[in-house]
């Protein structure tokens, strides 16, 4: 299968340096459906980049045709990838302005709505095309005005993905099971994504707070539908999702090749790649992101987990001990950390020394928690 490789320059942040985004494209650029896949937005999260390496190899083999098109950015953050401090790659936050590379993406709902107001009609396909054109026009103008690598990078990534039917942003957690973030308005039509990925956790929220990349592309469709009403048909035309490929150390060819195959079969099911694929059963129902408990440490100390990842826990059940090895009496230097909800413990902290307020575990519950509002994601 033919592949076109393009390189888009990023603004230099110092004299004598240059960086660029490398983009791999397959298929007719006018074909539908269009899938956009990126990895490494948090530059120190490696599983997704290796998965896309194997997906590119699979696509290059040309074993199946491609009625749609695929755009792949295997390393979406050259800025963060250059942030090496004392031998450690620090790619989650920008050292320029301190922001999270997967936060503060543009909310273009109002601007796009204003641009298409009075032009939308009763034909759904025409409305989708007009909205996508508006996205591209606005982002193109913004790119020409934006200075500095972190802000320009955000705009460039949105430009590459804004007209896609499917957008998958591949990440990983610290220590975790596979889990998938999706919008409520995409469910249950998007159930095939976590099903093919064999993800035991699917977390739903239209706006999770913080404006991550995927929501900047999926949320406007539901918000424009609400603005213009039922007489103007506007579908959820962009299935955008953050996919967490387990933990940071789950990096290896065998596992990455399996995940690439899962993505390949999902894209077959969606008609991007030719060939049939039977949708597996979803291993666990989707749950609201407001029902996910983020368990935090009340004090500094060493955390010792009592239960492994993948354990169904109950509210009040001890899941870890927090130990103060400096306590005069060792019997008093240990406190229990308990689950605050029933659910699946699917993520936890790899660094066993923790400080007050630090997240040490995540539990996917089924009932919304009163404390969960506003910014629902970790920083």
Pair (176, 294) in one structural domain: no
Cβ atoms of 95 and 81 closer than 8 Å: no
Residue 368 has a pLDDT of 94
Answer whether residue 371 is part of any domain.
no
67 pLDDT above the threshold of 90 = yes
**Looking at the structure, do residues 273 and 163 belong to the same domain, yes or no?**
yes
Question: 269 and 310 in one domain?
Answer: no
Domain shared by 226 and 340, yes or no: no
Question: Does 265 lie in the same domain as 299?
Answer: no
Q: Is residue 379 part of a domain?
A: no
Which of 121-135, 142-156, 299-313, 314-328 shows the lowest per-residue confidence on average (mean pLDDT)? 142-156
- 266 shares its domain with 348: no
Residue 323 has pLDDT above 70, yes or no: yes
170, part of any domain:
yes
Do 86 and 43 fall within a single domain? yes
For range 216-230, the mean pLDDT: 97
Residue 268 has what pLDDT? 98
| Residues of the domain holding 358 | 288-365
- Position 182 scores a pLDDT of 98
Given the structure tokens 């539901």, which residue do they identify?
A: 222
Q: How confident is the model at residue 6 (pLDDT cuts 50, 70, 90)?
A: very high
- Write out pLDDT tens, residues 187-197: 999 999 999 99
| Mean pLDDT within 10-22 | 88
- 9 with 128, same domain? yes
User: What value, to the nearest 5°, has the Cα angle with vertex 97 and ends 19 and 167?
Assistant: 60
Could you tell me if residue 329 is inside a domain?
yes
Percentage of the chain exceeding pLDDT 90:
88
Residues belonging to the chain: 379
Model confidence pLDDT, tens digit, residues 106-142: 999 999 999 999 999 999 999 999 999 999 999 999 9
- Per the domain annotation, does 18 fall within a domain? yes
What is the count of structural domains for the chain? 2
Q: What is the CATH number of the domain that holds 21?
A: 3.40.630.10
Instruction: Kindly state whether residues 211 and 303 are assigned to the same domain.
Output: no
pLDDT at 43 over 90: yes
For residues 316 and 236, membership in a common domain is answered with no
Residues 272 and 310 in one domain: no
If pLDDT is split at 50, 70 and 90, which confidence band does 291 have? very high
If asked whether residues 297 and 198 sit together in one domain, one would say no
Residues 6+ apart with CB under 8 A from 230: none
- Reported as a single tens digit per residue, the pLDDT across 240-286 is 999 999 999 999 999 999 999 999 999 999 999 999 889 999 999 99
Mean pLDDT value across residues 203-212: 95
Q: What is the average pLDDT across 218-244? A: 98
| Residue environment code for 316-335, b if the CB has 16+ CB neighbours within 10 A, otherwise e | ebebbebbeeeeeeeeeebb
Give the pLDDT score at 148. 73
CA distances for 64 relative to 30, 90, 147, 181, angstroms: 19, 38, 42, 29
* CATH number of 310's domain: 2.40.50.100
pLDDT at 374 exceeding the cut of 90: no
The residue that leads in pLDDT, 19 or 223, is 223
- Tell me if 331 is assigned to some domain: yes
- pLDDT (tens digit per residue) in 139-167: 999 987 777 778 899 999 999 999 999 99
334 in Cβ contact with 256 (< 8 Å): no
**Model pLDDT, residue 379:** 64
Confidence of residue 202 (pLDDT cuts 50, 70, 90): very high
Q: Is the pLDDT score of 328 beyond 70?
A: yes
- Name the average pLDDT for the chain: 95
Are 337 and 301 contacting, i.e. CB atoms less than 8 angstroms apart? no
Is residue 293 a contact partner of residue 343, using CB atoms and an 8 Å limit? Answer: yes
Residue 265 pLDDT: 98
- 65 CB neighbour count, 10 Å cutoff: 11
Q: Is residue 213 part of a domain?
A: yes
């Amino acid at each position: 299968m033919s592949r076109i490789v393009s390189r888009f320059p990023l603004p230099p942040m110092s004299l004598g340096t240059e960086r660029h985004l490398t983009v791999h494209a397959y298929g007719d650029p006018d074909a539908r459906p269009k899938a956009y896949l990126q990895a490494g937005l948090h530059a120190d999260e490696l599983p997704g980049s290796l998965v896309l390496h194997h997906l590119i190899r699979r696509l290059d083999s040309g074993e199946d045709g491609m009625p749609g098109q695929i755009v792949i950015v295997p390393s979406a953050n050259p800025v963060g990838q250059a942030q090496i401090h004392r031998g450690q790659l620090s790619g989650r936050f920008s050292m320029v302005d301190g922001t999270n590379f997967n936060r503060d993406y543009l909310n273009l709902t109002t601007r796009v709505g204003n641009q298409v107001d009075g032009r939308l009609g009763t034909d759904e396909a025409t409305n989708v095309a007009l909205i996508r054109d508006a996205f591209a026009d606005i982002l193109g103008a913004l790119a020409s005005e934006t200075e500095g690598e972190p802000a320009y990078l955000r705009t460039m990534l949105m430009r590459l993905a804004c007209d896609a039917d499917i957008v998958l942003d591949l990440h990983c957690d610290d220590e975790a099971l596979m889990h998938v973030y999706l919008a409520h308005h995409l469910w249950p039509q998007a159930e095939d994504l976590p099903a093919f990925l064999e993800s035991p956790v699917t977390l739903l929220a239209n706006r999770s707070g913080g404006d991550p990349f995927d929501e900047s592309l999926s949320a406007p469709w539901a918000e424009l539908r609400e603005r213009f009403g039922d007489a103007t048909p506007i579908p959820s035309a962009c299935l955008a999702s953050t996919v967490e490929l387990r933990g940071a150390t789950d990096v290896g060819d065998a596992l990455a090749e399996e995940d690439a195959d899962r993505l390949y079969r999902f894209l077959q099911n969606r008609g991007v790649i030719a060939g049939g694929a039977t949708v597996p059963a979803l291993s666990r129902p989707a749950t609201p992101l407001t029902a996910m408990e983020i368990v935090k440490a009340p004090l500094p100390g060493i955390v010792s987990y009592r239960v492994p990842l993948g354990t169904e826990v109950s509210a009040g059940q001890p899941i870890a001990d927090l130990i103060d090895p400096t306590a005069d009496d060792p019997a008093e230097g240990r406190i229990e950390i308990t689950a605050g909800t029933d659910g699946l413990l699917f993520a936890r902290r790899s660094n066993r020394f923790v400080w007050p307020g630090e997240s040490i575990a995540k539990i996917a519950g089924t009932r919304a928690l009163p404390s969960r509002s506003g910014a629902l994601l970790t920083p």
